[in-house]
Structure 1
């Protein structure tokens, strides 16, 4: 268990379950977890900012955050209500074990691949029951056992699958081992000037296999996925790192500043110089 505490903040961490409480306090943080996270708000307010999109959570709201994405989070008290939230982190090992035990015929096959980073979930008895059962652990003198932690993570996976079918291919994108390798390669090499044939070769595929495999992880074409990724990284470098436009466009893989500016404005509604 990890515990951090001062006059304004208390955070408890138990092997995948994290509880946070702020008193009369507003906290801004950068979220960049390598694992999927399910966030639930007991009280106060939480704002999740994904580039030009804002998702606001109030008491009783729950959101799923996809892994390997960089977001801003604002955790605020609201009136007399302190910020009090909890998150479940789903490690790949837990999800793989869950997938192995599933009845494969019950897995939906015609599910649209979503490119969303954050999914705000509808309130449901399963989600409400799961998180209300964790409230006793805000008392730092009570520690959940490993068995309880594992049970709560399993409950969380069931709640996610029952709330939105689009989460099936996201949670279980390791069902075929190449998927993780493919995304790892693209996330690490998005700025490189590589042809689709080169990417296919570097990831151990023919071009036809690469294109077929890519359709299973994104509704975008590989070219559009790369442009979207480059623009997202440019947004971060401009807004959070205060870099200049003339430096950023080449860093993220654009060769032409005019093309970069046009694509940026199309995606975010403002020019890069306005950030």
Structure 2
């Protein structure tokens, strides 16, 4: 069983693997709590890398692009419980509890949650749901579990209130800096627009101003230039880099490379090795 089992649709998932897996691009749309049952979980974004093992918990802020690596360790499979903290549920908690929403959250986007007895007990209480996915657990009960998770997170780290209850749209971030850090992710231009807090039209307009060309064209150029750099200076093989640079296939990469530089990447690498 490698696919996540859905415990509560859209909210609680259980993922189990017996082999290592790497997800090149995950777009994390919701705030997400990851409970590591066994094995190792790593998340790498443009700015940071965090790993955690058995018994640890990580809160991941929404609207991030990341690489996820899931690794079974010797003697233990990879198992994780993922709880999606969706905005409608968080809004409901704010309304029910009359929580004051503070200013925009500006802290770190990924936070390892320090262990305590309450959270450990919560963790244990979710495991039976996972062990018996075929039992008819009602969604109402599942939602109570998710609410409990939110309350325990706030009890453990009150400062998380700003992260969890930040409903502002992603602000217009520095487009140039964002694109230079994230150009290698193979996601549609629409997603880049969303992540920088712009409509598609606004994104294309700002992009043209900054880079002097359309986003698709720039992405292609930037990825090919980076590929040439890696082949020339790092002696990387074309087959080892095309996916990391956001190309769909090796043939598409080779064709585009040859169009731009006049030689196929394999010829280029034999000249520069």
Alignment TM-score > 0.5, same fold:
yes
Find the aligned partners of 1:166 and 1:108 in 2 and give their Cα distance. Answer: 12
TM-score, normalised by the number of residues in structure 1: 0.62
Q: Is the 8 A contact 2:101 2:166 kept in 1?
A: no
CA deviations 1:119-141 (Å, max 9, x no partner) are 11111222211121111223333
SS of the aligned residue for 1:148 comes to: helix
Partner residue of 2:61?
Answer: 66
Q: Is the 8 A contact 1:113 1:166 kept in 2?
A: no
Q: Is the 8 A contact 2:38 2:76 kept in 1?
A: yes
CA deviations 1:201-241 (Å, max 9, x no partner) are xxxxxxxxxxxxxxxxxxxxxxxxx22x5423332223657
Tell me the CA shift for residue 75 of structure 1: 0.6
- After superposition, residues 1-275 of structure 1 pair within 5 angstroms as 5=1, 9-13=2-6, 14-15=8-9, 16-23=11-18, 25-29=19-23, 30-104=25-99, 113-139=105-131, 140-174=133-167, 179-180=168-169, 183=170, 186=171, 190=172, 226-227=173-174, 230-238=176-184, 253=207, 255=210
Q: How many residues align?
A: 196
Superposition RMSD in Å:
2.9
Q: Is the 8 A contact 1:35 1:67 kept in 2?
A: yes
Find the aligned partners of 1:103 and 1:48 in 2 and give their Cα distance. Answer: 33
Tell me the CA shift for residue 92 of structure 1: 1.4
Tell me the CA shift for residue 34 of structure 1: 1.9
TM-score, normalised by the number of residues in structure 2: 0.63
> Which 5+ residue runs of structure 2 have no aligned equivalent?
188-202, 213-225, 231-244, 246-273
CA deviations 1:30-66 (Å, max 9, x no partner) are 3213211100101000011112411011101101111
Q: Is the 8 A contact 2:32 2:61 kept in 1?
A: yes
Find the aligned partners of 1:50 and 1:124 in 2 and give their Cα distance. Answer: 27
SS of the aligned residue for 1:255 comes to: helix
Q: Is the 8 A contact 2:104 2:166 kept in 1?
A: no
Residues 138 and 130 (structure 1 numbering): CA distance in 2 closer, same or farther, change over 3 Å? Answer: same
Q: Is the 8 A contact 2:35 2:123 kept in 1?
A: yes
Q: Is the 8 A contact 2:34 2:80 kept in 1?
A: yes
Q: Give 1 or 2 for the bigger CA radius of gyration.
A: 2
Find the aligned partners of 1:152 and 1:90 in 2 and give their Cα distance. Answer: 11
Tell me the CA shift for residue 90 of structure 1: 1.3
